[in-house]
C-alpha cells in the first residue's frame, strides 16, 4: 500500500482522510462499523504483540486482559481528537506521537479492515485508495473547524436528518464529547477547552450544518 512521500512531523496535528476505491460502500452494517472501531483502538498503540485477527480469536476474558496490558505497557503512537466513519470514507483528527505513528496506524487499520471486509463479502483486492491524504493543522481556528467538519459529516451527507441523531451516531467521536459513549483513545480535553460549556460546544457544531451542506453540493466543482 502506497502512502504520502512527505513525512508527518512528531507533535503536529493532521486531518487524515481516505475513501474507498470507486466510492463503494465499505461499512455495510453495524458489525462492519464495530469491527473498524475495534481495529482502530487496537492499532492506536505501538507494536501490539499480536495481529488483530489473532487477538480477536481469543476468549473474551483473554481479550480484556490483553487490552489492559497493551494500554499499560505500550505507548500510543497517535493522539486522536476526532474521528468519523462514513459509508465509503473515514476522517481522523490526530497528532503524530512517535515517528511514523500516523503512517503505521493508517496502514494497520486499512489493511486489517480490508482483509475482514474481503473475507465477509468474498471479494479480492484493495478496498481503500492507495494513498490517504493528510493536511497539517496550523492554527487553533483550523483545529476547531476541522473537528466540527468531521463531527457533522453524517449530517452534511444527509446520512442523518438532525442533530439529535448525530448525538447518537456511534461511529463518530461526537457522542464521546457529550458523554453518551466512552472511548479510551479520544482526547476530549483539548477541543472542549475552547468552550465554556458542553452546550456551547454543541452550539458551535450546529452553527455550520446548513452552510457545510451547501458547500458539499458544489465540492466536486471546486476540485475540478
Report the pLDDT value the prediction gives residue 206, as an integer from 0 to 100.
85
In contact, 166 and 186? CB cutoff 8 Å: no
Q: Round to whole Å and give the CA distance between 55 and 58.
A: 6
The rounded mean pLDDT for the chain is 89
The neighbour count for residue 1, using CB atoms within 10 Å, is 14
Q: Is the pLDDT of residue 222 over 50?
A: no
Q: Is the pLDDT of residue 100 over 70?
A: yes
Per-residue confidence at 131, pLDDT binned at 50, 70, 90?
A: confident
Please name each of the domains of the chain with its CATH number: 13-223 (3.30.70.1290)
Residue 42, exposed/middle/buried by CB under 10 A (0-12, 13-18, 19+)?
Answer: buried
Report the pLDDT value the prediction gives residue 214, as an integer from 0 to 100.
58
Grouping H, G, I as helix, E, B as strand and the rest as coil, residue 164 is helix
CA torsion, ordered 18, 33, 164, 146, to nearest 10 deg:
-20
Per-residue confidence at 61, pLDDT binned at 50, 70, 90?
A: very high
Q: Is the pLDDT of residue 67 over 50?
A: yes
The mean pLDDT of 127-143, rounded to a whole number, is: 92
Q: Round to whole Å and give the CA distance between 18 and 34.
A: 18
| φ, ψ (nearest 5 deg) of residue 143 | -55, -45
- The overall pTM is greater than 0.85: yes
Q: Is the pLDDT of residue 98 over 60?
A: yes
Q: Is the dihedral of CA 177, 109, 129, 116 positive or negative?
A: negative
Of residues 157 and 58, more confidently modeled: 58
Q: Is the dihedral of CA 22, 28, 30, 31 positive or negative?
A: negative
Could you give the percent of the chain with pLDDT greater than 90? 77
pLDDT tens by residue, 141-169 = 999 999 999 999 998 888 998 888 999 99
The mean pLDDT of 27-40, rounded to a whole number, is: 96
Strands 89-96 and 13-19: antiparallel
Per-residue confidence at 209, pLDDT binned at 50, 70, 90?
A: confident
Q: Smallest Cα–Cα separation from 171: which of 12, 55, 20, 35?
A: 35
Q: DSSP assignment, residue 173?
A: S
Report the pLDDT value the prediction gives residue 212, as an integer from 0 to 100.
64
CA torsion, ordered 175, 178, 180, 186, to nearest 10 deg:
60
Amino acid at each position: 500500500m502506497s502512502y504520502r512521500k512527505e513525512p508527518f512531523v512528531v507533535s503536529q496535528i493532521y486531518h487524515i482522510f481516505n475513501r474507498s476505491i470507486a466510492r463503494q460502500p465499505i461499512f455495510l452494517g453495524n458489525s462492519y462499523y464495530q469491527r473498524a472501531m475495534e481495529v482502530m483502538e487496537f492499532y492506536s498503540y505501538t507494536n501490539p504483540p499480536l495481529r488483530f485477527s489473532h487477538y480477536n480469536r481469543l476468549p473474551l476474558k483473554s481479550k480484556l486482559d490483553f487490552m489492559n496490558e497493551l494500554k499499560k505497557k505500550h505507548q500510543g503512537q497517535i493522539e486522536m481528537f476526532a474521528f468519523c466513519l462514513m459509508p465509503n470514507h473515514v476522517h481522523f483528527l490526530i497528532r503524530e506521537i512517535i515517528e511514523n505513528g500516523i503512517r503505521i496506524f493508517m496502514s494497520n487499520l486499512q489493511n486489517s479492515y480490508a482483509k475482514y471486509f474481503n473475507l465477509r463479502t468474498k471479494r479480492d483486492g484493495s478496498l481503500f485508495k492507495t494513498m490517504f491524504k493528510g493536511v497539517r493543522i496550523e492554527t487553533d481556528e483550523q483545529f476547531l473547524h476541522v473537528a466540527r467538519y468531521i463531527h457533522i459529516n453524517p449530517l452534511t451527507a444527509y446520512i442523518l436528518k438532525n442533530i439529535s441523531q448525530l448525538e447518537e451516531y456511534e461511529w463518530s467521536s461526537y457522542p464521546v464529547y457529550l458523554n453518551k459513549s466512552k472511548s479510551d483513545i479520544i482526547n476530549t480535553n483539548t477541543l472542549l477547552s475552547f468552550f465554556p460549556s458542553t452546550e456551547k460546544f454543541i452550539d458551535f457544531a450546529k452553527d455550520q450544518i446548513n452552510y457545510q451542506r451547501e458547500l458539499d453540493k458544489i465540492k466536486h466543482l471546486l476540485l475540478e
